[in-house]
Amino acid sequence: MTEIRPRHRRRLTAPAAVAVCTALVGTSALLTQATASPAEQVPVGAGSYTTELPPGASGPSDVTGAPVTPKVTPDFDQPVTTNEWWSSLIFQRYPDNPYGENLHAHPMTFKAQASGMEIGHSPTHQIVGEANKYEYGHSADLVLGVEGLNAPSARVAGYGDWTVTAELADGTRTLRTTIGQGLPFAYADVSGAAATAQFTSAPQVWHDDGAIVGVTVGDSHYALFAPSSISWQHSGSTFTAAGAEYVSVALLPEPADLATFAPYAHSFVTGSELTYDYDPEAATLTSTYAVTTEAREGSQTGTLLALYPHHWKETTTELTDLRYASPRGPMRVVDGDRFVTELTTQGILPSLPTVDEADHDRLRSMIDAEINADDPWKGAVDTYWTGKALGRLAQLVPIADSIGYTAGRDALLDLLKSRLENWLTADGAGDDAQFYYDATWDTLIGYPSSFGADQELNDHDFHYGYFVTAAATIARYDRSWIADEQWGDMITTVLTDANNPDRDDQRFPWLRSFSAYAGHGWASGHAGFAAGNNQESSSEAMHFAASTAVLGSIMGNEQIRDLGVYMHTTQASAMSRYWQNSDGDAFPDDFAHDVVGMVWGDGGDYRIWWDGTDEEHYGINYLPITAGSLYLGYDPAHAAAMYASLVDRLGREPETWREIHWAQRALSDGDAALAAFEAQWQSYEPESGSSKAHTYQWVSTLAALGQVDTSVTADSAHYAVFVDGGERTHVAFNPGTAPRTVTFSDGVSLTVEPGQLATS
């Protein structure tokens, strides 16, 4: 079994979490707060952040608590990024390991060591962890290095959107290796001595013409390429290319494929970049994945690229017959330096309409129960639990408005404004909640922190997505609040730390929390695990994306809107495949689970970061339920199968997080979900980010309107279509300041007032 380093966070369920968080505030020096002096404040509109670490708090650290700095070369000149598949190269989490952990790039795997870069490939999987995890682990087939190299550490020389260049140097000899997701080549620049490729076991040599060597090790086939004027010399299991300033290594599907790979041996990948184009009129997201290449010899440019299933099943680019095995299912290969995918963009609503069939008086009393609670925040003090509370209360605002309960709506907005403004101001007021900018790591950290968001830079999109939701909700009803000179610039600063759409903004890296090639985010800032990086709550990442799209539209900021649409549309395509095996080819046949709680670099694991129930293993990728969660019902038959799978596993109906599962069930059977709620609504305790009012509105609306209908689109980023017995209901939201008409692809048009929903 692959060793997994100690887990990076343990999410708790309320009320236990509240008790633990409260205890931490009282006992842990890491959460001690103090008022920063005025000289340390950076004003941002009406808000501010501090540039000095709060006394007693910790920033990025190793496992001993000692501060760490990015491991980069002197010529590194980009914003420091984290939360990547390769982040253990730049973030040294373990004092005894300056080289980083296993790097699961797919189809190849890597690990840096003193003498060079290990290269491997796992064409087959193992079932481990009491049959809860499948993994395609890293096992070195060879070490690509420089003769005599003894580097004290690995450092990052530069990175692209899904590629990285790692340097191993000892003052005399240097190896710089460029590797990446989807790259079947590893490209190396060498200096100081001869390039070497040392195999971990005796290779079977089946091709040797001097500059090109073909070998098989176990079940994997490799080609070694040197400049055409230089020959590889073979001694035992070691090949040496004396005088070579560069070499490359290719992983071949079969030995017969050597002729396909050889033309690209000297076409070195020097960068990788994603561009996306959202066309609201056509309801289409077009994404272009491109690499830049440099011909080190001759004039051949371009390369071969291996595509994940969410790529090749949606691509408009011609595929070859080449294939690789991977933890995400079969990878297909394109010949060239780019490929294009096209996805239909389903709308992202800020809220669902409230139907007449719902008991509006009961909704009002449920809302009052939240407003008048002894503590509407349920003891929350840190970024995550405060965020959950902000999200819970924000979901009630449009419900109150929809039933004409204006006083309740405004009371909720006052609660949101008070708490959010306190967090967005680093002046020591209230509970000393504040944001701190770490210029060493190019990141914004909220304090008090939790779940490693400070020391490990974990989960920023999970936490901050709730802040963005609250801000978008306030802005929907109070446009002046979101003005740049008020709170707009500060909430945008929080948002862009988690995922920055602006490549020219040097404060934060581009898309910290979203992996462009993987199609989803990575939760760990340091990726310090033998299994690679991990993503547990894909649904909280989807929540960030949805709230980003809505906030961007309300602010009139198309760059932010399009970022949200891109992330939401792309991850919806990846999530059902990689967490729920919706296509049937991601999970191995002998993996006995229908879902995974976490996707890892090397596979998938049914387990989660705490000893949760089966309901939590499924539900961690559903919550929080918002109008941005309709993607869970894009395929109603699949949604029904997921609910049936959980019930079959339990041998009963869900009890833990039951309202989360009622909400998921409503996407396939609204009547059954509503009946379950009606039978138990007075006796159950909601999950901490949920409320009875929101669950009731959700299930009653879907019981009345039916299932999500993805066959109809609209010329807006914010719409949904439902179908019940052949009758469609069209819903649209207008984020602008003037009435607009939204036109659907089936010919229906809706005139929508500013800040309002309209329903056919």
- pLDDT tens, 494-523? 999 999 999 999 999 999 999 999 999 999
CB contact at 8 A, 173 and 147: yes
Provide the domain count of the chain.
Answer: 3
Within-domain flag for 48: no
Q: Find out whether 50 and 43 touch, Cβ atoms under 8 Å.
A: no
**Residues paired with 185 in a beta bridge:** 250
Q: What is the pLDDT of residue 1?
A: 36
Task: Evaluate whether residue 466 is within a structural domain.
Answer: yes
Query: Is residue 606 in some structural domain?
Result: no
pTM for this prediction: 0.94
Q: Are 684 and 696 in contact (CB under 8 A)?
A: no
Contacts of 695 (CB under 8 A, 6+ apart): 625, 659, 662, 663, 677, 681, 686
Looking at the domain assignment, is residue 416 inside a domain? yes
The tokens of 336 are what?
A: 């060239």
Give whole-number Cα distances, 150 to 114, 115, 203, in Å.
5, 5, 24
Predicted confidence band of residue 21 (pLDDT cuts 50, 70, 90): very low
Q: Provide mean pLDDT across the span 157-176.
A: 98
Are the CB atoms for 112 and 156 separated by under 8 Å? no
- Residue 428 has a pLDDT of 57
Residue 5 has pLDDT above 50, yes or no: no
Asked whether the beta carbons of 546 and 531 are under 8 A apart, the reply is no
- Domain ends where: 270, 286, 320? 270
Nearest to 416 by CA among 466, 355, 479: 466
599: in domain: no
Average pLDDT value over all residues in the chain: 94
* Token pair listed for 686: 């909601």
Same domain, 96 and 235: yes
| Residue 431: band (very low, low, confident or very high) from pLDDT cuts 50, 70, 90 | low
Domain that holds residue 261: 87-270
- pLDDT at residue 648 above 80? yes
Q: Where do the DSSP E strands lie in 625-745?
A: 707-708, 719-724, 727-733, 740-743
Whether 325 and 123 have beta carbons less than 8 Å apart is answered as: yes
Same domain for 368 and 497, yes or no, is: yes
Classify residue 252: in a domain, yes or no: yes
| Residues in a beta bridge with 728 | 723
Residue 186 is part of a domain; what is its CATH number? 2.70.98.30
Same domain (yes/no): 422, 525: yes
- Residue 98 reports pLDDT greater than 60: yes
Is 315 within a domain? no
Domain boundary among 552, 587, 622: 587
Are residues 142 and 240 both part of a single domain? yes
Q: Report the phi/psi class of residue 244: left, alpha or beta, with left for phi > 0 and alpha for psi in -120 to 50.
A: beta
What percent of the chain lies above the pLDDT cut of 90?
94
In terms of C-beta density within 10 A (0-12 exposed, 13-18 middle, 19 or more buried), how is residue 27 classed? exposed
Q: Assess whether 391 and 491 both reside in one domain.
A: yes
Closest CA to 348 of 193, 186, 472: 472
- CA–CA dist 342, 140 (Å, integer): 36
Residues 6+ away with beta carbon under 8 Å from 727 = 706
Structural domain ending residue among the three candidates 570, 587, 604 = 587
**Residues noted as catalytic:** 459, 536, 540
pLDDT, one tens digit per residue, over 367-415 is 999 999 999 999 999 999 999 999 999 999 999 999 999 999 999 999 9
Is pLDDT at 437 greater than 70 in this prediction?
Answer: yes
Maximum Cα–Cα distance across the chain? 84
> Is it the case that residue 248 has pLDDT exceeding 80?
yes
- pLDDT tens track for 279-336: 999 999 999 999 999 999 999 999 999 999 999 999 999 999 999 999 999 999 999 9
Question: At residue 663, what is the residue type?
Answer: A
Tell me, yes or no, whether 702 lies in a domain.
no
As a whole number of angstroms, the distance between CA 74 and CA 539 comes to: 39
Beta bridge partners of 375: none
How far apart are the C-alpha atoms of 415 and 412, rounded to whole Å? 5
> How far is residue 523 from each of residues 6, 513, 612, 656, 710, measured CA to CA in Å?
15, 7, 19, 24, 30
Tell me how many helices (H) and strands (E) the chain has: 15, 38
Q: Write the pLDDT tens digit of every residue in 546-588.
A: 999 999 999 999 999 999 999 999 999 999 999 999 999 999 9
HSE value, Cβ hemisphere, 13 Å, CA-based, for 377: 18
Residues 6+ positions from 478 with CB-CB distance below 8 Å:
413
Interaxial angle between packed helices 670-680 and 692-705, expressed in degrees from 0 to 180 and rounded to the nearest 10: 150
Does 24 have pLDDT greater than 70?
no
Do 435 and 558 fall into the same domain?
Answer: yes
Helix 538-555 to helix 489-498 angle, to the nearest 10 degrees?
A: 150
The answer, yes or no, to whether residue 115 has pLDDT greater than 90, is yes
Share of the chain above pLDDT 70, in %: 94
The mean per-residue pLDDT over the stretch 732-737 comes to: 98
Residues 382 and 489 in one domain: yes
Report the alpha-carbon distance of residue 295 to residue 375 in Å, rounded: 64
How many residues are listed for the chain in this entry?
A: 760
